[in-house]
Amino acid sequence: MTPRLRSGRTYHDDSPWPHLDLGPHDDRRYFEQLIKAIFQAGLRWPVIESRWTAFGEVFHGFDPVAVAAMTEQDVDRAARDPRIIRHHRKIADAVASTRTFGADGWSSVRAMVLDRIGGPLAVRVVRDPDPPPGGIVVQVLATGMCRSDWHAWAGHDEIRLPHVPGHELAGVVSAVGDGVSRWSVGDRVTVPFVQGCGRCRWCRSGNAQVCPEQEQPGFTQWGSFAEYVALYAADANVVGLPEAVTFEAAAALGCRFATSYRALTGRARLTADEWVTVVGAGGAGLSAVMIAKALGARVIAVDRNPAALAAASALGADHVLTADGSRDIPGSVLELTAGGSHVAIDAVGSEQTCADSILSLRRRGRHVQVGLLPPVGGHPRVPMARVIGWELDLLGSHGMAAADYPGMLALIERGELLPQALIERVISLDEAAALLPTFDTAAPAGMTMIDPRRSPQPS
């Protein structure tokens, strides 16, 4: 249904609401404001329609057909009327009572759902999310798939089943919870994959990425492989998008690009003319190559996939090395750089790639671990003798707080960073459900982006 109010008509002359019982209130303006208040309370039309009786006292017998004739744009044009104020509490109570009815009282959305660890993923209809207190609901217009999503599917993270993966996203605010002051319905937004509480000393110091009370879509809560997703502590975590930044580019920022950006700028403090070795040329690795070149560094990219290495070369990598098992990667790096890299990043997350990154460093070099290292077969061995003897720094990068986004977004607006150039393909939710279980062995030459609105491609 696409509701539409017939311009210039009222219920007094050829009513667009033929079954409407107005009760004691007989002007359209008052009715419009009642609808507007409910929309502002965070409910969309399918919810209102499905639990219409919950609003009976407020509407004095108004028929839901009346609402079907209106759009949110129509009700937004309604003038403010002091008569509605006395009904705000009734509306709030009606909203609260609606939320006690369970799933049958809610509109539905499509999402990719995991029912058992390591099992098949299914795209099906689920309950429309609520905006949590202090949070928002975002209509997901782009969401990225990365290796971290595979780790959750494989059971390397603690998740509650059934579960919806996805942690890199961008879209439009569709509902706003109590206590949110910075965001409104319709705002273009993205969010770091770590959502800090906004209250602790880490969040207050601009380090929400290490908040001890953090939430993470796709891990601690249902994620963004869905048409809508709920986000917490919106005023502290959500980032507004400039019009010049596309949703796809913004979704690329949430985990891999922002993590690599902070790994090089905030953790390793890479400077111009330094050598940096990037082990792994997937989404995070290619992001690191792009960012390092923008900072004026000299880059060596390492990967087993020729297409990924070609992508790294296209982004400006000075040298590429094929990790085919027959080559001594650290030895090659030490030779190319006359003693080793100043900075090295493991953008994969395995015992081998971590060791190659560390052993590629020169004395007093800086290693940054970006790829996750789950202790699947025991904790990974790290060449600590080299770390001690050469006084190497071992650093971690766990995303980037919203407070640090403006500088990165400014570089994107100026065209100095182009995260959209890293996107290899855009797929549907159905295609993503088939791809995710294979993502540990996939060899993408860039980022995979999901558009939840997209229909699967015919086979």
Q: Establish if 269 belongs to a structural domain.
A: yes
Tell me the percentage of the chain whose pLDDT exceeds 90: 55
3-state secondary structure of 189: strand
β-pair partners for 226: 111
47: domain range? Answer: 28-104
| Distance from C-alpha of 66 to C-alpha of 409, rounded to nearest angstrom | 44
How confident is the model at residue 458, as a pLDDT?
A: 62
**Are 190 and 135 in a shared domain?**
yes
Number of structural domains in the chain: 3
Q: Establish if 10 belongs to a structural domain.
A: no
Average pLDDT estimate for 143-155: 90
Tell whether the model's pLDDT for residue 16 goes beyond 80: no
**Are 181 and 223 in a shared domain?**
yes
69 vs 342: which has the higher pLDDT: 342
**Are 287 and 321 in a shared domain?**
yes
318-369: pLDDT as tens digits: 999 999 888 899 999 999 999 999 999 999 988 999 999 999 999 999 999 9
**Are 242 and 263 in a shared domain?**
no
Average pLDDT estimate for 42-49: 49
Q: Establish if 410 belongs to a structural domain.
A: no
The first and second tokens of residue 143, run together, are: 């969401």
Amino acid at residue number 77: R
Q: Establish if 413 belongs to a structural domain.
A: no
Query: Looking at 69, 104, 139, which one is the last position of a domain?
Result: 104
Count CB atoms within 10 A of the CB of residue 296: 11
Q: Which of 87-96, 118-127, 397-406 has the lowest mean pLDDT?
A: 87-96
Q: Kindly state the DSSP code that residue 212 receives in the 8-state scheme.
A: T
How confident is the model at residue 413, as a pLDDT?
A: 87
Average pLDDT estimate for 47-75: 49
Residues 6+ apart with CB under 8 A from 144: 168, 169, 251, 252, 254, 255, 256, 283, 447, 448, 449, 450
**Are 66 and 119 in a shared domain?**
no
Query: Looking at 104, 136, 155, which one is the last position of a domain?
Result: 104
Average pLDDT estimate for 179-195: 93
Average pLDDT estimate for 290-306: 95
**Are 130 and 262 in a shared domain?**
no
- What DSSP assignment string belongs to 240-287? EPPTTS-HHHHHTIIIIIHHHHHIIIIIS---TT-EEEEE--SHHHHH
Tell whether the model's pLDDT for residue 116 goes beyond 80: yes
**Are 295 and 336 in a shared domain?**
yes
How confident is the model at residue 86, as a pLDDT?
A: 47
**Are 212 and 186 in a shared domain?**
yes
HSE of 95, CA atoms in CB hemisphere, 13 A: 21
**Are 298 and 340 in a shared domain?**
yes
How confident is the model at residue 73, as a pLDDT?
A: 53
17 vs 413: which has the higher pLDDT: 413
Q: What is the CATH number of the domain that holds 372?
A: 3.40.50.720
Q: Establish if 5 belongs to a structural domain.
A: no
Q: Establish if 360 belongs to a structural domain.
A: yes
Q: Establish if 17 belongs to a structural domain.
A: no
Tell whether the model's pLDDT for residue 14 goes beyond 70: no
230-271: pLDDT as tens digits: 999 999 999 999 888 889 989 988 788 999 999 999 999 999
Tell me the percentage of the chain whose pLDDT exceeds 70: 74
**Are 86 and 137 in a shared domain?**
no
The first and second tokens of residue 118, run together, are: 């390591």
Are residues 376 and 343 in contact, defined by beta-carbon separation less than 8 angstroms?
Answer: no
CB neighbour burial string for 187-211, b if at least 16 within 10 angstroms, e if fewer: bbbbbbbbbbbbebebbeeebbbbb
Average pLDDT estimate for 370-397: 88
Amino acid at residue number 455: S
How confident is the model at residue 440, as a pLDDT?
A: 78
Give the C-alpha distances (Å, rounded to integers) separating 252 from 27, 67, 146, 223.
48, 38, 10, 15
Q: What is the CATH number of the domain that holds 124?
A: 3.90.180.10
Q: Establish if 305 belongs to a structural domain.
A: yes
Amino acid at residue number 87: H
| Distance from C-alpha of 409 to C-alpha of 236, rounded to nearest angstrom | 17
How confident is the model at residue 447, as a pLDDT?
A: 86
Average pLDDT estimate for 155-172: 92
Tell whether the model's pLDDT for residue 19 goes beyond 50: no
The first and second tokens of residue 17, run together, are: 């609401």
Tell whether the model's pLDDT for residue 70 goes beyond 60: no
Query: Looking at 54, 88, 104, which one is the last position of a domain?
Result: 104
211-220: pLDDT as tens digits: 999 999 999 9
**Are 114 and 243 in a shared domain?**
yes
**Are 112 and 223 in a shared domain?**
yes
- Mean pLDDT (the chain) is 80
* Confidence band for 313, pLDDT divided at 50, 70 and 90: very high
